[in-house]
Amino acid sequence: MIALAALLLLAGQDHAMHGMPGMTMPMPAAKPQAKPRPAAKPRRKAAPSRTAPARPAAKVAPAMDHGAMDHSTMNHSHMNHNAMDHAAMGHGDAAPPPAEALGTDLPPGDAPSPPVPEPHMADRFWDPAAMARGRAIMMGRDGGGRRFAQVMVNIAEYAVRDGRDGYRWDGEAWLGGDIDRLVVKSEGEGDVRGALGSAEVRALYSHAIGPYFNLQGGVRRDIRPTPARTYATVGIAGLAPYWFEVEAAAFVSTHGEVSARLEGYYDQRLTQRLILQPRAELNLSAQRVRATGLGSGLTSADLGLRLRYEIRREFAPYVAVTWERRLGDTARMARAQGQDTGGPALALGIRGWF
């Protein structure tokens, strides 16, 4: 009887333990496994290397193995998914974050523009006044702002005409820089056995109004023909497209007489030393001036073709064929006074500069 009561008491405790939370029945004992094979004999240890020992690798947190996790016992309702590091859970590399918007990718807005940087960064570290003086010296003395001088003789020739030989000159000298210059020009002609036919001198201030043209203004003085005249002059000179050297000037005398002059030439390089230069000059007058023998309109024309050989760039002899003619009322007044109205001529001359 006592043995039967003990069995009943043990059975009741076993059933009661099944109702307790967290209690599980013991698993049946596993079957005995086969005896493991004896381990292989350890190999001889390699001789220690004399090289420096390698640095220990940084400890890496072991990745979580989802296959070994018991998802049936996990309480997913209390898990903080935002704080979970999925990259460390063995899922692989996560996608990179989106790039920050820059430049034209930014949305439109009314944000103020960035400040304008200083034009000269050196002024941040050194005295701005000292740096300004240094830049002025560099630009003035070393950067193209220096003063130069040149004397150019475009025409210095002896002309052979029918029955009377003559001479002619045309040149200029200037002093200044790339922007502002003082220019002195002179031209004239005459007969070898006669008097000086015409001679003038111009003193001009020249100011660059672009990379190719200069605005010029000043005074012109006519020494011949008599009576002498003084003019105020303004004009433009420079290099036109296709490499034409051109000049246009207007003159107003102290007596109110208005005249103008147009001239130009072109250097056609045949070889490195042989240059063919066509040249043209036209003179005009707004009214008749009997004192100087000028009629109104186109008063004279001068055309020439000169072939020069540059022994040096600064020195070039040439031969020329020229044609000069007084026109209109000017020609009629010249014939009335027994003067020649002009014609063709052969010339020998020198062009040079220094």
pLDDT one-digit tens code per residue, 203-215: 999 999 999 999 9
Q: Is pLDDT of 178 > 90?
A: no
- Domain extent listing, the chain: 148-353
Please give the radius of gyration of the chain, using alpha carbons only, rounded to the nearest integer: 53
- CB 186 within 8 Å of CB 196: no
**Dihedral angle sign, alpha carbons of residues 212, 217, 218, 224:** positive
- CB 200 within 8 Å of CB 184: no
The stretch 242-268 carries a mean pLDDT of 97
* Class of domain 148-353 (CATH, top level): mainly beta
Q: Is pLDDT of 305 > 90?
A: yes
pLDDT-derived band at 337 (thresholds 50, 70, 90) equals: confident
The stretch 143-158 carries a mean pLDDT of 88
What's the confidence (pLDDT) of residue 15?
A: 44
Q: What is the pLDDT of residues 16-64, one digit of tens each?
A: 444 444 444 445 444 545 555 555 555 555 444 444 444 544 444 444 5
Measured CA to CA, the distance from residue 47 to residue 142 in angstroms comes to 74
What's the confidence (pLDDT) of residue 1?
A: 47
Q: What is the pTM of this model?
A: 0.62
Structure tokens at 25: 């029945």
Measured CA to CA, the distance from residue 330 to residue 297 in angstroms comes to 9
Residue of higher predicted confidence among 333 and 110: 333
What's the confidence (pLDDT) of residue 257?
A: 95
Measured CA to CA, the distance from residue 143 to residue 229 in angstroms comes to 42
What's the confidence (pLDDT) of residue 112?
A: 79
